[in-house]
Amino acid sequence: MFVVKKWFVITALLLSLAVMFGCAGGPEPVQREEGKSYSFVLLHTNDHHGATLAKDGRGGLAERMSFVKSVRDQYAQVLVLDAGDINTGPALSNMFNAEPDINAYNMIGYDAGVLGNHEFDGSYEKLQNQLAMLNYPIVNANIKDKSGNQLPGTVPYIVKNYDGIRIGIFGLTTKRTAELTNVGPEVLFIDEIEAAKNIVSVLKNDEKVDIVIALTHLGDVKETEMSTTSPELAAAVPEIDIIVDGHSHTYMEQPIQAGQTKIVSANEWGKYVGEAKIDVVNGTIVNFDWMPVMINNNETIAFTPDAEVAAMIAPYSEKADASLKEVIGQAADDFVFGDRLTRKIETAIGDMICDANVWYINDVFGQKIDFAFHNGGNIRAPLSKGPLTREDIMTVLPFDNYLYVVSMKGSDIIDLFNFIGSIPQGNGGFPQMSQEVRYTIDYTGGKGVLKDLTIGGAPVDAGKTYSFCTNDFLLNGGDGYTVLKDKAMSPFNTSLTLQTVVIEYVRSLNGIITPETDGRITIIGGVSE
């Protein structure tokens, strides 16, 4: 790699100091005058997802650095937070396990961050390596190690003393992470609300903070009946003054007001930085002036790239470009992604990816399967008309998912598809299917109901055994697919990644792919386009 690594012992020392001076708040409480107004500026980001460089004129870490510098030049007291999901996005970041992104975050000078679910996409060793690279604390109050102790490399909260203001910051990560990722046995998640109540009590009663900030990766979208949203957290723990949220990629024009709690989030991919100018009198917020600040667009470059951050990123880009810029084919037209449509309806890009699986397993691997499917949340970007590079495919499919061929009895296949029919539109578990499958989901009654399922042109035979291809994440029960984890038989690891198979599929079509759908998934009563 291109920078000097920070060893675990250094990180352990820094975190110990953070606990000693952050969690203890230092030996002296803040001093303030009765009735005097004190101010600080809160800057925050979330769901960065490897957006190292600006895309279509938007975002970019060097550009973000310039914005943060401009705020620090104007204001004496600036708090900078990140609400998780640094990992998993464009190929440049993925190739280096987000190292250039983490280096940039260190250079920007974040005060604290929280783990997102995508920080658990890789191995536990990868997570610990990333934590060791950070120069700022990661706060997580509801993640433990397998012994029930604080997850190594994290602290439950920190306390920051500013002129006239004492702030406590704690972190929460959606417990759905255990379902959304392959976290392994080293990590345990506890209930977010119970963890919050305990930490807020410590911050208020023991640390005597004025302002409580929850730095959360929960989102404001109810993904499942068991998931906790940031508004639900605010309702359950009203002592929280501000929730800085991530996970749902929500664009806000103004804060969500939940009781006395302000909830803010800054969309995604570094396209915005949330900025709140906050006035505090006698330890109470009296003014909260928040807005999402756009980090450039195609017409206006308000923040030029910071030279130091750009210079740090440059060697990574040069090395990545050498392998990623290889042209592998052509797209005859745009493969539309829209507002994450792969989580809602049949899409041309989903059809192509799943058909690529069947082609490779049947024609190249020489093993007959009946169909293939993948979770729509596995597909992260569109493909544009014109030349296709390796980087394009790896950006669409940023996860290093391995393909498995498994078998299931027809009766269990029916259970699998009944579960699929119950997945709400917008949920990452909503699947994309290969051309052998046809079904309808009827949402007119509210909850989805699956109808008219056929595989290979015939209704599912409960007594027959079917063979299909999917990814290791779903096979391990990810996105709620416990029926796969419990009922799949004879799992065979092809040792192929989804990215590799799609690249080879494009090449097999004389390098030209055309966006088409054929009605394999019909939607009634829900989002249909």
Distance (Å, whole) CA 39 – CA 286: 10
**If we measure between CA atoms, which residue out of 236, 441, 240 comes closest to residue 345?**
441
Over residues 434-455, the pLDDT tens digits come to 999 999 999 998 889 999 999 9
Distance (Å, whole) CA 494 – CA 484: 17
Do 412 and 396 touch, CB atoms closer than 8 A? no
pLDDT of amino acid 214: 98
Distance (Å, whole) CA 511 – CA 523: 32
Burial class (CB in 10 A: 0-12, 13-18, 19+), 186: middle
Beta strand segments in 46-117, E:
78-82, 112-113
pTM: 0.75
Distance (Å, whole) CA 122 – CA 50: 14
> CA neighbours within 13 Å on the CB side: how many for 374?
29
Distance (Å, whole) CA 171 – CA 166: 17
Kind plus residue range of the DSSP H or E element containing 293: strand 284-294
Burial class (CB in 10 A: 0-12, 13-18, 19+), 354: buried
Domains and CATH numbers, the chain: 49-317 (3.60.21.10), 327-524 (3.90.780.10)
**If we measure between CA atoms, which residue out of 528, 501, 385 comes closest to residue 434?**
501
Per-residue pLDDT of the chain (529 residues; tens, 9 = 90+): 233 333 333 333 444 444 433 444 443 678 999 999 999 999 999 999 999 999 889 999 999 999 999 999 999 999 999 999 999 888 789 889 999 999 999 999 999 999 999 899 888 999 999 999 999 999 999 999 999 999 999 999 999 999 999 999 999 999 988 877 778 888 999 999 999 999 999 999 999 999 999 999 999 988 778 889 999 999 999 999 999 999 989 999 999 999 999 999 999 999 999 999 999 999 999 999 999 999 999 888 999 999 999 999 999 999 988 888 889 999 999 999 999 999 999 999 999 999 999 999 999 888 899 999 999 999 999 999 999 999 999 999 998 788 999 999 999 999 999 999 999 999 999 999 999 999 999 999 888 999 999 999 999 999 999 999 999 999 999 999 999 999 999 888 887 889 989 999 999 998 799 999 999 999 999 887 7
Over residues 471-499, the pLDDT tens digits come to 999 999 999 999 999 999 988 888 788 99
Distance (Å, whole) CA 189 – CA 17: 25
Distance (Å, whole) CA 195 – CA 309: 36
